[in-house]
Amino acid sequence: MNSALQQQTLHDWKGIPFSRSISGLPAGPVDLTTLQVNLGKRCNQACLHCHVDASPSRTESMSRPIAEQCIDLLERIPSLEILDLTGGAPEMNDHFRFLVESARRLGKTVIDRCNLTILSEPGFEDLASFLQQHQVEIIASLPCYTRETVDRQRGHGVFDRSLAGLKELNQWGYGTTLPLHLVYNPSGATLPGDQALLEADYKTQLSALGIQFTSLFVLANMPIHRFLATLLHDQTFEPYMDTLAAHFNPSAFAKVMCKSQLSVAWDGRVFDCDFNQMLELPSPNFPTLADITVDALARRGIRYANHCYGCTAGAGSSCGGSLT
Ligand code: SF4
Ligand code: SF4
């Protein structure tokens, strides 16, 4: 689905508009701490629920000049403490290691959103040791601890390769001395369960397989891209949106990630978050990376729309898991 059609579909949904739900609530940004950089749409997987529409056939990938502008931004804006690298498979970008090394040199925390199977792709044999050497924090997708569910969502053989990736990361100290967070999302059009209960469940199941991890982040499925197409195909779009809206949580809205982060696309355009990026809703405040200054940040606004119910339903959902 192209982004215009997605925007129209979300706009035409018949429920209470998100703008009305947040009327009267503080909606502005707080201190900017995180720069999330999407290095492109290339991925070695093509998962059913991918909100990026990534796959091995995609060619969009960040260039060196844009990567250098991201590092320049980290230098110019002192409050930016975290560089959060995502994709696609961010490690497939030619400038991934440049970004990691440069940001670490500046003393920033670096997060790699890793799909785990990339660790066993040819040419990436030294990736785990590189990440460990630079003390990169890892957030890895594992939507379930059963082979059947993971392979259905993410492709045949992904479960076994993901476990192999986790075991390799454990050997490098991830899950014990270095952070290794896992990401869960529901397999269908339902809200995710309680994060603490699911984490306890994951710990039991994965420790039985000899795998350690730091914590579990529970994410709701955003009604955009492939998941939106699935909802429309299954005629569950309206009921799913109704469920999200019925569970709108003002406490979650107070902590949505767009309030403290900016998102940069592979081509250098600036967005409030990765989801707005995928819907082609750029930040009106920052046409380019060079427009982000301390003064301009003080005036920035956030582009909310109906998909934002995905971040604010129930316990809330963000790139760091539940919000409340
Ligand atoms: S691994 Fe991540 S980026 Fe790649 S297709 Fe799956 S969900 Fe999308
Ligand atoms: S989807 Fe909406 S609420 Fe969620 S981070 Fe993006 S702009 Fe904020």
Beta carbon of 38 within 6 Å of any ligand 1 atom: no
| Per-residue pLDDT tens digits for 166-190 | 999 999 999 999 999 999 988 889 9
The pLDDT value given to residue 128: 98
Candidates 216, 215, 222; CA nearest to 258 is 222
- What is the SS3 assignment for 42? strand
pLDDT for 266 beyond 80: yes
Strand partners of residue 184: 218
Place of tokens 């429920």: 15
Positive or negative torsion for Cα 98, 101, 105, 110: positive
- Residue to mutate (ligand 1; options 39, 42, 47; most atoms within 8 A of CB): 47
Q: Cα separations (Å) of 204 from 178, 183, 198, 208? A: 20, 16, 10, 6
Tokens representing 301 are 């606004």
- Please give the distance, rounded to the nearest whole angstrom, from the Cα atom of residue 300 to the centre of ligand 2: 14
The pLDDT value given to residue 323: 86
The ligand 1 atom nearest the CA atom of 49: 7
The pLDDT value given to residue 29: 93
Q: Where are the domains of the chain?
A: 3-312
The residue whose CA is least distant from atom 8 of ligand 2 is: 258
Quote the percentage of the chain above a pLDDT of 90.
Answer: 88
Strands 270-271 and 261-264: antiparallel
Is 309:244 a contact under the CB 8 Å cutoff? yes
As a whole number, mean pLDDT of residues 284-303 equals: 94
Query: In terms of C-beta distances under 8 Å and separation of at least 24 residues, what long-range contacts does 279-288 make, across chains too?
Result: 279/3, 279/6, 279/7, 279/10, 279/224, 279/305, 279/307, 280/3, 280/4, 280/7, 281/7, 281/305, 286/262
- Please give the distance, rounded to the nearest whole angstrom, from the Cα atom of residue 44 to the centre of ligand 1: 8
As a whole number, mean pLDDT of residues 212-216 equals: 98
| Per-residue pLDDT tens digits for 64-99 | 999 999 999 999 999 999 999 999 999 999 999 999
| Per-residue pLDDT tens digits for 124-168 | 999 999 999 999 999 999 988 889 989 988 899 999 999 999 999
The residue whose CA is least distant from atom 3 of ligand 1 is: 88
**Lowest pLDDT segment from 149-158, 212-221, 266-275, 298-307:** 149-158
Beta carbon of 142 within 6 Å of any ligand 1 atom: no
The residue whose CA is least distant from atom 2 of ligand 2 is: 308
Tokens representing 146 are 């059963």
Number of other CB atoms surrounding residue 142 within 10 Å: 24
pLDDT for 267 beyond 80: yes
| Per-residue pLDDT tens digits for 4-34 | 999 999 999 999 999 999 999 999 999 899 9
Strand partners of residue 215: 181
As a whole number, mean pLDDT of residues 92-119 equals: 98
CATH assignment, 3-312: 3.20.20.70
The ligand 1 atom nearest the CA atom of 52: 8
The ligand 2 atom nearest the CA atom of 302: 7
Tokens representing 172 are 């490098």
| Per-residue pLDDT tens digits for 229-252 | 999 999 999 999 999 999 999 999
Beta carbon of 54 within 6 Å of any ligand 1 atom: yes
The pLDDT value given to residue 229: 92
Ligand in closest contact with the CA of 226: 1
Beta carbon of 39 within 6 Å of any ligand 1 atom: no
pLDDT for 49 beyond 80: no
Q: What is the mean pLDDT of the chain?
A: 95
- Residue to mutate (ligand 2; options 304, 309, 317, 323; most atoms within 8 A of CB): 304
The pLDDT value given to residue 50: 80
- Kindly indicate the confidence band of residue 107, based on its pLDDT and cuts at 50, 70 and 90: very high
